[in-house]
Amino acid sequence: MKSGILLVDDELNILRALERMLRRAGYEVFCANGAKEGLVVFEQQDINVIITDFRMPEINGAEFLKLAKRQSPHTVAMILSAYADFNSVVEVLNSGLAFKFLQKPWLETQLLEDIEAALEKYDNERQQYLRTQLLIGSQDALLEFDRRGQLIRFNAAGQKLLGLSAMEMQQAALSTLFHNIQVEQLVAFLQKQSLSVSVTTQKGIPLELIHQLSDDDHYLLRVEAVQSVSHVTEQFADMPEVLDQLHLLQEIDLLLAVDARPLAVIYLDIRNFSDVHHSLGFQGADQLVAMLGTHLLHQVKDRGKLAYLFADQFVIVIQKWRHEAQLQDIVHNAVQEFDKPQVILGKALHVRFNVGYTIAPDDGADAKTLIHQARQAARSPHRPESNFMLRYDRRYIESRKLQYEISNALYEAVSQDELQLAYQCKVDLQSHKIASAEVLLRWTHPELGSVSPAIFIPIAERDGQIHELGVWVIRHTLMQLVKWRDAGLDLPQMAVNISPIQLQQRDFIQNLLALVREFSVHPSHLQLELTETAVMEHLDFGLSQLQLLREAGFSIAIDDFGTGYSSLSYLTKLPVDVVKLDRSIINDIEHSLATQSMVRNIIRMSHELGISLVAEGIETKEQHDLLTQMNCNYAQGYLYSKPVDAGRFLQLALQQPLAAMLSGDQTNA
């Protein structure tokens, strides 16, 4: 079952930049280079959210949305445009065609937030639609409550069972409609930890409230007279091996009492189950649940117990396992069959699962806790995209713990002499000589080992240590520059990475100037690399800081270009000397004509603006040849050298030009 985002834009580079960003954020993305193509893709794929340009040749964004929404009114649309004229946009928003207007250039974090909001809106509307369908179509007695417990809608069967007039039902609260509710049980029920709760009506009739389709804000409940719900797992009424909730709790508590440990409790449900409902209807969804239950039972019955809670929720209890990896294998094998599309009511659908587990006694000592935490783990925001299983909170706790440890250990790094610098050459593609070196920070902790800057830099940014580290890097870079100069290597420039947090510091520029003065180095020998995202996200103060830095003589490079905004029009506004094309663009350049044409354009336009280009992450001769042909100025990557220590860099520099370097063996620093 797909739930995708469709991007429509007539500018290929914008399309690619957005696509990369959204893929990185884990979304399923479809692209269309214009409205006509957009309509074709929209018809073929399952699309939840559309992001479209406004001004496009032939069909504009508003007309495109009109046509798309005719096909599928629930899709949430957003318009992303730089030039859309105000009146048209207002008209589109007012007509309800679009949910939001987003402005180019976009801020990555803002855009991702807006997309999340759009997806949420889509889910809410879809759920609302399903609840309405049920209220209209179902023979069962149904009541819909809001999160405060107010009755908002009900059907005729519901009213009949309660024996109240429509007037009496209006806006009634759960607490006035029913008596004898135990608060604890009600809370567990509303948190969907239990399928049903027993209540008594004003007229003294015992009833059972059962979740039919509930989310966090709306509860659509089925009401049944008590005698008919003795067996809640009607789905598996003819399969007594499938336990219901009550028997599951008893079974687990029994196993715990006889000390059958370690005991694993695995919670499993279907991801996007509401989409399954939408696509197959209730009959199809029931059929899928029945299929899944039968299959799971077959898979696990020799090793443990299967229970069906309700809707799409199953619990597996496993006793016979030796180590956690084996446990994961058992579950993996049990759902493996569903890697293939499943055909239900003539439709093929891909089923994915949320799986979480707990192990007794470590993660809980009673049945309810174990099931609850397993469910929480399954719904953890840290869950990866594919089928997976997570142990209760463990990953989260571990990553938090590790971050804390890293942050702590980093405080000692400078004084304990645990930091080193590595140097990676940037090669001039004309002369094949080393034009400069990028300085990359390395940290080796006695216990944690070597920690990647991709991990510790963000932590240092968060806990403020980046300022001290940043100064350390610049000081040692300048020291090295002078040392090499004394050894006869006159490197024209060295590049250091600067975090946006450093830029924010008020006396950053003064400190930097003081440092270059201390080492008698002219600012032009120092290049400051700032990532594209950092610059764009801190445009307010960043722009003036960059301007001042450049006026002071420092060279400015935009790092990782192509991972964020990637429109050259922004570059015209930025005081920049160099643009570094990100490795992710270079990666597939040999195989993609579209990427080649995009890179060619970026290079041509940058040159027109007087900006030089560095291609990052060159690993193959083909990439090197292509970028040379395209007039790219410099290249950096494993093909020439990995980041190496100062001694090795000096050797490398003495082997210039490039031909000799390519034949040398390269070792990592």
Q: Which residues are designated catalytic?
A: 616
Regarding 480 and contact with ligand C2E (CB under 6 A), the answer is no
- How many chain residues are in contact with ligand C2E, going by CB under 6 A? 22
Tell me the residue ranges of DSSP E strands in 217-360.
Answer: 218-225, 242-243, 263-270, 304-308, 314-318, 342-344, 347-349, 353-360
Does 453 participate in binding ligand C2E (rule CB under 6 A)?
yes
Q: Is 106 helix (H, G, I), strand (E, B) or coil?
A: coil
Provide the minimum distance between the beta carbon of 562 and ligand C2E in the complex, in angstroms, as a whole number.
11
DSSP 451-508: E-HHHHHHHHHHHTTHHHHHHHHHHHHHHHHHHHHHTT---SEEEEE--HHHHHSTTH
Given candidates 53, 114, 363, 560, which one binds ligand C2E under the rule CB under 6 A? Answer: 560
Query: Measured over all CA atoms, what is the biggest interatomic distance in the chain, rounded to whole angstroms?
Result: 98
141's contact among ligand C2E, Mg ion, none, with CB below 5 to 8 A by partner kind, is none
The residue from 32, 559, 589, 603 that contacts ligand C2E (CB under 6 A) is 559
Give me the least distance between CB of 558 and ligand C2E, in Å please: 11
Q: How far is residue 363's CA from residue 369's CA, in Å, rounded to a whole number?
A: 8
Least Å distance, CB 176 to ligand C2E, is 60
- Residues 200 and 205: their CA atoms lie apart, in Å, by 5
DSSP class per residue in 131-164: HHHHHHH-SSEEEEEETTSBEEEE-HHHHHHHT-
Least CB distance to Mg ion at residue 592 (A): 20
Residue written as tokens 């399969």?
A: 239
472 binds ligand C2E (CB under 6 A): no
Q: Which residues bind Mg ion (CB under 5 A)?
A: 497, 529, 559-560, 616
Under the criterion CB under 6 A, does residue 457 sit at the interface with ligand C2E? yes
Stretch touching ligand C2E by CB under 6 A, among 364-372, 398-406, 516-524, 611-619: 611-619
Select from ligand C2E, Mg ion, none the partner in contact with residue 452, using the beta carbon and a kind-dependent cut-off of 5 to 8 Å: ligand C2E
The item of Mg ion, ligand C2E, none sharing an interface with residue 354, based on CB under 5 to 8 Å by kind, is none
Shortest separation between residue 118's beta carbon and ligand C2E, angstroms: 30
Closest CB 631 distance from Mg ion, rounded Å: 20
| 195 interacts with, out of Mg ion, ligand C2E, none, CB within 5 to 8 A per kind | none
Q: What distance in Å separates the CA atoms of residue 581 and residue 499, rounded to the nearest whole number?
A: 18
Bridge partners of 580, per DSSP, are: 614
Nearest residue to the partner ligand C2E, using Cβ:
637
Q: In angstroms, rounded to a whole number, what is the distance separating the alpha carbons of residues 78 and 7?
A: 10
Binding mask 67-106 for ligand C2E (x = CB under 6 A): ----------------------------------------
- Output the CA–CA distances (angstroms, integers) from residue 240 to 233, 244, 583, in the order listed: 10, 9, 57
Site string for ligand C2E, 358-397 (x = CB under 6 A): ----------------------------------------
Tell which one of 56, 92, 151, 473 touches ligand C2E (CB under 6 A). 473
Residue 451 tokens, joined: 């920690």
Phi, psi (degrees; rounded to nearest 5) at 195: -75, -35
**Closest distance of CB 499 from ligand C2E, Å:** 4
Token pair, residue 401, equals: 């713990």
Give the x/- contact pattern for ligand C2E in 232-251, rule: CB under 6 A. --------------------
What residue 619 binds from ligand C2E, Mg ion, none (CB within 5 to 8 A, per partner kind)?
A: ligand C2E
Write out the two tokens for 85: 């004229």
Report the amino acid identity of residue 13.
N
Q: With binding defined as CB under 6 A, does residue 452 bind ligand C2E? A: yes
How far is residue 569's CA from residue 276's CA, in Å, rounded to a whole number?
43
Per-residue contact string for residues 640-669; x = within reach of ligand C2E by CB under 6 A: ---x--------------------------
Report the b/e string of 83-112 with b at 16+ CB within 10 A: ebeeebbeebeeeebbbbbbebbbbbeebb
Taking the C-alpha atoms of residue 557 and residue 159, their distance in angstroms, rounded to an integer, is 69
| CB nearer ligand C2E, residue 201 or residue 407 | 407
List the interface residues with ligand C2E, window 570-609 (CB under 6 A).
Answer: 583
Interface with ligand C2E, residue 440, by CB under 6 A: yes
Q: Which does 441 bind (CB under 5 to 8 A by kind): Mg ion, ligand C2E, none?
A: ligand C2E
On whether the CB atoms of residues 366 and 249 are closer than 8 A, the answer is no
CA angle 607, 609, 612 (to 5 degrees): 45
Q: Name the residue nearer to ligand C2E (CB basis): 460 or 571.
A: 460
- Residue 619 touches ligand C2E, criterion: CB under 6 A: yes
**Contact indicator for 544, 508 with CB cutoff of 8 Å:** no
User: Which pair of tokens denotes residue 270?
Assistant: 């279907």
638 binding partner (options Mg ion, ligand C2E, none; Cβ < 5 to 8 Å by kind): ligand C2E
638 binds ligand C2E (CB under 6 A): yes
Residues 497-526 contacting ligand C2E, CB under 6 A: 497-499
β-strands 141-146, 218-225 pairing: antiparallel
Given 274, 556, 637, 669, the residue binding ligand C2E (CB under 6 A): 637
Would you say 65 or 474 has its CB closer to ligand C2E?
474
Q: How does 52-82 read in b/e, with b if 16+ C-beta sit within 10 Å?
A: bbbebeebbbbebbeebbeeeeebbbbbbbe
Q: State the nearest-atom distance from the C-beta of 548 to ligand C2E, in Å.
A: 19
Question: Which candidate, 512, 558, 553, places its Cα nearest to that of 535?
Answer: 558
The residue ranges that bind ligand C2E (CB under 6 A) are 424, 440-441, 452-454, 457, 473, 497-499, 529, 559-560, 583, 617-619, 636-638, 643
